[in-house]
Amino acid sequence: MVSMLRKASVVVFAAVSASSLAQLVTLSNNGSLAQLNVGTGENGAFGLNNWTIGGGPNNVGEELYLYRVGTQAVDFVNDISAPQIDQPTADLASIGYSSGANLFDLNFRYLLTGGPPNSSDLGEVATLINNGQSDLVFSLYEYDFFTPGGQSGGTGTLLNSSTIQYVSPGGSITVGATPIPTHWMIDTTSNVANAILGPGELTDATSGFSTDGHLGFAFQWDVVLAPGQEWQMSKDKQLAVPEPASLLVLSGLALAALRRRRR
């Protein structure tokens, strides 16, 4: 396994290694396509690494989840275990990981909703279950590196306590979450990566951050679960290319449908 120090030293997590084959899950709906690498080991860009609308450019460098148990080192969720994959429809997938050593299950559900010609929505629900006999002290991180319209540069803004919007020359991405994150961060991709993989503590800064290069942002949730307790986080990503105003078309649709299907 490549050391955490080496992973933190690269510009984005995607650059670590591609020495083995990725395990891809592909979602499609109404002209939109999203691909996630859910495999284990050092096999390239983890998490969401491809998101297109109508066959246009890729709008994401990498969106992935990391975790920490207690005072252990931060690691990628892909390294918890081999994934359990369930994809009943082309637009919906469930990815599950189970940690025998730390006695928890962590499951993710994704729902893609396309809105051609210039918008797409990805709803995500993460569920954490403590299977142990003692409290589980857990941190979940979501790292985001997007390239709306296939372009870098632009400005990231904290719209409210649980929503970040990134506007680039090629479009925009708005990411909102429930419950409110414990911490957040907007900076260059390398600084955000180092904050997660280093101290494991996001800085709560900087809203209105602008760069001509790669902009990254992240959320962090710190939770303590009693034995048998469950915790859930819902997230919605609204992608608009090229007009940010078109974000209003799909707001919240994916999460609403995802909750209905979960029931």
Nearest-angstrom CA–CA distance, 74 and 217 = 17
Nearest-angstrom CA–CA distance, 232 and 112 = 19
Q: What is the value of pTM for the model shown?
A: 0.86
Q: Which of 92, 65, 93 is nearest to 80 (CA)?
A: 65
Q: Which of 51, 39, 41 is nearest to 17 (CA)?
A: 41
Encode burial over 15-35: b for 16+ CB neighbours within 10 A, e otherwise. bbeeeeebbebebebebbbbb
pLDDT of residue 263: 55
pLDDT digits (tens, 9 = 90+) for 17-67: 343 456 999 999 999 999 999 987 655 578 999 999 999 999 999 999 999
pLDDT of residue 116: 79
Nearest-angstrom CA–CA distance, 232 and 108 = 10
pLDDT of residue 41: 60
For residue 25, list its beta bridge partners: 36
Nearest-angstrom CA–CA distance, 48 and 234 = 16
pLDDT of residue 40: 75
What averages of pLDDT result for each successive group of 10 residues across the chain (263 residues)? 35 44 89 93 77 95 96 94 96 96 96 93 98 97 97 97 97 98 98 96 98 98 98 98 49 54 58
pLDDT digits (tens, 9 = 90+) for 163-178: 999 999 999 999 999 9
Nearest-angstrom CA–CA distance, 13 and 192 = 10
Nearest-angstrom CA–CA distance, 249 and 198 = 38
How do beta strands 215-225 and 183-188 pair?
antiparallel
Three-class SS state of 254: helix
- Written as six digits, the tokens of 244 are 């940010």
Nearest-angstrom CA–CA distance, 66 and 18 = 19
pLDDT of residue 248: 42
Nearest-angstrom CA–CA distance, 188 and 141 = 16
Domains and CATH numbers, the chain: 4-262 (2.70.98.40)
End-to-end CA distance of the chain: 38
Q: Which of 212, 240, 245 is nearest to 115 (CA)?
A: 240
8 A C-beta contact, residue 40 and residue 20: no
